[in-house]
C-alpha cells in the first residue's frame, strides 16, 4: 500500500496496480449530512466514470465500489497531472494536449455528463493518452448551463495556476470543443463570468 494523497475529502492510495479512493468522514459536518454526501459523491463518481468509459472517454476503469466504506477501487494511471507539466511542454506538445482536452470535454458533454470539477489536477497524461478523474461533483446533464459551468471552471483553473499561458491554452481547448451547441455554451459561459464579476 502506497499513500498517494489527501484531497478535499478523500484519501488516495495505491494498492498493487490499483488506485483506492476512500471518502473519509468530516468531523465538522453533522453525521447524517456527512454520510449522505459521502454516499452521493461515491455513487456519482462510479456511475459517471462507468458511463464516460462506455462513451469512449478515457477514464480509469472502475474495479470495485464499497458503499460501506465509501471506497472506490480503480485502475491506477501512471503519469503526471496536467498542472505539473503544462508549462514544461513545448508549443507542439501543448497544442496536442489542448486538442485532447477539448475533444474529451466535447465527448463528456455530448454523452450528457457534466464533470463539475474540471481543473488541471484532475487530468492525468499517460504516454500521450489523457485521462480525466474526480467525477464526485459531476452529474448527468444535458443543460447548456452545466456545460458552461464546466468550461468556466477549466478557464478559472488555468488563470489561477497557469497565468502566463492560460489564454493560449484556453483558446486551443475551445477550438477543439466541437459540441453541436458550442455557440450557446460559450455565450452562457460569458454570462456566468459577468455574473461572477458583479456578484
Ligand X SMILES: Nc1ncnc2c1ncn2[C@@H]1O[C@H](COP(=O)(O)OP(=O)(O)OP(=O)(O)O)[C@@H](O)[C@H]1O
What residues make contact with ligand X under the rule CB under 6 A?
4-5, 7-10, 12, 19, 21, 60, 74-77, 81, 121-122, 124, 133-134, 136
Residue 49 binds which of ligand X, Mg ion, none (CB < 5-8 A, kind-dependent): none
Residue 83, C-beta contacts closer than 8 angstroms, at least 6 positions apart: 119, 120, 121, 161, 162
Answer for which of 122, 125, 149, 166 binds Mg ion (CB under 5 A) is 122
Cβ of residue 51: shortest distance to ligand X, in angstroms? 17
**Three-state SS at 83:** helix
Spatial separation of the C-alpha atoms in residues 132 and 49, rounded to whole Å: 9
Residue 81 binds which entry of Mg ion, ligand X, none, CB below 5-8 Å type-dependent: ligand X
Please check whether residue 136 is in contact with residue 42, taking contact to mean a CB–CB distance below 8 angstroms: yes
| C-alpha triplet 18, 101, 6: angle, nearest 5° | 40
The DSSP output letter for 29 is S
Considering only 45, 134, 146, 150, the residue that binds Mg ion (CB under 5 A) is: 134
> Closest CB to ligand X belongs to which residue?
7
Q: Which of 34, 66, 96, 117 is catalytic?
A: 117
Choice between 7 and 112, CB closer to ligand X: 7
User: Counting beta carbons within 10 angstroms of the beta carbon of residue 150, is it exposed (0 to 12), middle (13 to 18) or buried (19 or more)?
Assistant: buried
Q: Which is nearer to ligand X, 40 or 184 (CB)?
A: 40
- Give yes or no: 66 in active site: no
Sign of the torsion formed by the C-alpha atoms of 192, 139, 99 and 81: positive
Can you give the binding site for Mg ion, defined by CB under 5 A? 121-122, 134
Active site residues: 117
Amino acid at each position: 500500500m502506497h499513500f498517494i494523497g489527501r484531497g478535499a475529502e478523500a484519501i488516495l492510495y495505491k494498492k498493487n496496480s490499483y488506485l483506492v479512493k476512500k471518502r473519509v468522514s468530516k468531523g465538522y459536518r453533522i453525521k447524517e449530512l456527512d454520510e449522505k454526501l459521502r454516499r452521493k459523491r461515491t455513487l456519482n463518481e462510479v456511475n459517471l466514470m462507468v458511463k464516460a468509459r462506455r462513451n469512449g472517454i478515457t477514464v480509469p476503469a472502475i474495479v470495485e465500489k464499497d458503499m460501506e466504506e465509501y471506497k472506490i477501487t480503480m485502475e491506477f494511471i501512471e503519469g503526471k497531472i496536467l498542472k505539473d507539466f503544462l508549462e514544461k511542454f513545448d508549443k507542439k506538445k501543448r497544442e496536442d494536449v489542448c486538442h485532447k482536452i477539448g475533444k474529451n470535454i466535447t465527448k463528456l458533454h455530448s454523452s450528457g455528463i457534466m464533470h463539475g470539477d474540471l481543473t488541471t489536477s484532475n487530468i492525468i497524461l499517460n504516454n500521450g493518452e489523457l485521462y480525466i478523474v474526480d467525477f464526485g461533483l459531476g452529474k448527468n446533464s444535458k443543460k447548456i448551463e452545466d456545460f458552461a459551468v464546466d468550461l468556466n471552471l477549466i478557464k478559472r483553473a488555468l488563470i489561477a495556476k497557469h497565468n502566463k499561458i492560460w489564454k493560449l491554452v484556453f483558446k486551443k481547448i475551445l477550438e477543439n470543443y466541437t459540441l453541436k451547441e458550442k455557440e450557446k455554451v460559450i455565450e452562457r459561459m460569458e454570462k456566468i463570468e459577468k455574473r461572477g464579476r458583479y456578484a
